[in-house]
C-alpha cells in the first residue's frame, strides 16, 4: 500500500492535559434511572487503549489514558481538525517534560497513550505538543474510491491493510449494522466520533457489545463517512473505538472513522486482534 504521505503538511499543534469532568446532578439513563457517570477527560491510571470498554463501574464515555484539549476556541478547532489517531505527542511542561506518546482517539478531547511510568508523572494542566499529520491522506490507486480520515500515515501502514485486485482488505474485530450507530450520527467525521449504541440490553450479548475494546478496529455496514456521516446502501466504513460504554439513550463506545467507501471497495477481514494498541506497539498482543 502506497500513500501520498510525503505531500502532507506536518505541523505542531498545542494542547494541555485537561481535568476530569462530572455533572452536577444525576444523568438519567435510557430507561429513566438516575446515574453518576464517570470517565470523561483527565488522567486515567487504570484504563488504557487495548482494555475492555464495558467493565468500568459507573463508566460513561470513559476515555482511556489521558485526555487533552486546547481551551482557546480557535486553537481548539485547529487541533480538532488537524490531530489524527497515531500522531506523535510530546510533553512540553511538567514533571514528565520531553516524554513521548501517541494520540489514540478523538472524542470532545483527544485521548493519548503514554508509557505507564510516564503517565504517573503527568498532571492536568501539563502542556502537550501534537505533531499533527494526516489530513489529506490518500491511498494510491484508491484516491477516488476510499475516503481516508483522521489517521496518521505511519499508523495506517501498520494496520495490515492490503491492496489487492482493486480492493482494500482491512482487518477488523467485528462488523456492525447501520442501525446500531448512535450519537454523532449526521455529524462531521473530521471532528467527532459516533457511538455504537449500548442502549438496548436485548442485543448486548448477540452483538458481543461487552467484548469491545478501546482501540478495536471495526467495520460499519451501510454507513458512508465522506462529506458527512449517514446511511448509504452497500457502503463500508472502518473506524477505531476510542471511548467507553454509556447508559444514556443512543450512546455507547465511540468510533472515530478512518476509511470509507460507498461501492464495496473496502473488504473487512475478521481478526480478533485488530486493535491499534498492538499496531502502535504499546501493548503486547496475546498469543
Partner 1 sequence: MGKVAPPVMAASGRSTYVTTWDGKPKIGIGVGGIKYNVKMGDPILGWPETEYMTPGVALYGADEKAEYDRRSASGSGTAFTKLSCIGNKVTVVGGDAKGSTGVITGKGGVGGTSRHVLSHFPMEVLKKLNIGDKMRVASKGVGLEVEGFDGRLFNMDPKFLDALEPGLDGDVLELPVAKEIPVIAMGMGVGGSSAESGGWCVQVSPPHLVEMLGLGDLRFGDLVACKDALMSYGKGYYKGAVTIGVVTTGESQVAGQGPSVLAIASSKRGKIKPRVDATANVAKYLELEG
Residues found near partner 1 in the complex (CB under 8 A)? 28-32, 178-187, 195, 197, 199-200, 202-203, 222, 224, 226-233, 248-251
Residue with cell 478512518: 258
**Cell reading at 287:** 498469543
Q: Name the residue nearer to partner 1 (CB basis): 164 or 227.
A: 227
- Smallest separation, CB 243 to partner 1 (Å): 13
Nearer to partner 1, 52 or 200 (CB): 200
Count of alpha carbons within 13 Å of 246, Cβ hemisphere only? Answer: 23
The 8-class DSSP code of residue 162 comes to E
- 257/275 with CB nearer partner 1: 257
As measured in angstroms, the least distance from the Cβ of 110 to partner 1 is: 20
> What is d(CA 234, CA 244) in angstroms, rounded to the nearest whole number?
28
Q: Of the candidates 23, 43, 22, which has an alpha carbon nearest to the alpha carbon of residue 94?
A: 43
Specify the residue, 14 or 178, whose C-beta has the smaller distance to partner 1.
178
Distance CA 7, CA 13 (A): 19
Provide the 10 A C-beta neighbour count for residue 205.
10
CB of 147 to partner 1, least distance (A): 10
Output the smallest distance, CB 109 to partner 1, in A.
Answer: 18
4 phi and psi angles, rounded to 5 deg: -95, 30
Nearest approach, Cβ of residue 177 and partner 1 (Å)? 8
**Chain mean position to CA 151:** 9
| Residue closer to partner 1, measured from CB, 1 or 187 | 187
Residue 170 or 224 having the CB closest to partner 1: 224
- CA 74 to the chain's CA centroid: 22
Angstrom distance (rounded) from CA 56 to CA 198: 14
CB of 39 to partner 1, least distance (A): 17
Best CA proximity match to 113, nearest among 69, 68, 156, 78 = 68
The residue among 3, 283, 277, 275 whose CA lies nearest residue 139 is 3
Indicate the residue among 248 and 275 with the shorter CB distance to partner 1: 248
Least distance from partner 1 to the Cβ atom of residue 68, Å: 22
Contact 62, 43 (CB under 8 A): no
Amino acid at each position: 500500500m502506497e500513500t501520498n504521505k510525503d505531500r502532507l503538511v506536518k505541523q505542531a499543534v498545542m494542547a494541555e492535559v485537561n481535568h476530569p469532568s462530572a455533572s452536577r446532578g444525576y444523568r438519567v439513563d435510557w430507561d429513566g434511572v438516575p446515574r453518576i457517570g464517570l470517565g470523561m477527560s483527565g488522567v486515567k491510571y487504570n484504563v488504557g487503549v487495548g482494555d475492555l470498554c464495558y467493565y468500568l463501574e459507573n463508566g460513561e464515555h470513559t476515555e482511556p489514558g489521558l485526555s487533552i484539549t486546547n481551551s482557546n476556541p480557535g486553537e481548539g478547532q485547529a487541533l480538532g481538525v488537524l490531530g489524527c489517531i497515531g500522531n506523535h505527542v510530546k510533553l512540553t511542561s511538567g514533571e514528565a517534560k520531553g516524554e513521548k506518546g501517541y494520540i489514540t482517539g478523538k472524542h470532545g478531547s483527544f485521548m493519548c497513550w503514554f508509557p505507564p511510568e510516564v503517565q504517573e508523572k503527568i498532571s492536568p494542566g501539563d502542556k502537550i505538543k501534537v505533531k499533527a499529520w494526516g489530513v489529506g491522506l490518500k491511498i494510491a490507486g484508491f484516491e477516488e474510491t476510499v475516503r481516508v480520515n483522521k489517521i496518521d500515515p505511519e499508523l495506517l501502514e501498520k494496520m495490515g491493510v492490503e491492496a489487492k485486485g482493486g480492493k482494500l482488505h482491512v482487518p477488523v474485530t467485528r462488523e456492525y449494522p447501520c442501525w446500531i450507530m448512535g450519537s454523532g450520527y449526521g455529524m462531521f467525521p473530521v471532528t467527532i466520533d459516533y457511538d455504537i449504541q449500548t442502549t438496548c440490553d436485548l442485543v448486548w450479548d448477540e452483538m458481543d457489545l461487552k467484548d469491545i475494546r478501546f482501540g478495536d478496529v471495526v467495520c460499519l455496514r451501510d454507513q458512508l463517512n465522506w462529506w458527512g456521516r449517514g446511511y448509504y446502501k452497500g457502503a463500508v466504513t472502518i473506524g477505531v473505538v476510542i471511548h467507553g460504554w454509556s447508559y444514556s439513550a443512543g450512546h455507547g463506545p465511540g468510533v472515530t472513522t478512518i476509511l470509507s467507501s460507498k461501492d464495496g471497495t473496502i473488504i473487512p477481514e475478521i481478526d480478533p486482534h485488530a486493535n491499534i494498541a498492538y499496531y502502535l506497539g504499546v501493548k503486547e498482543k496475546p498469543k
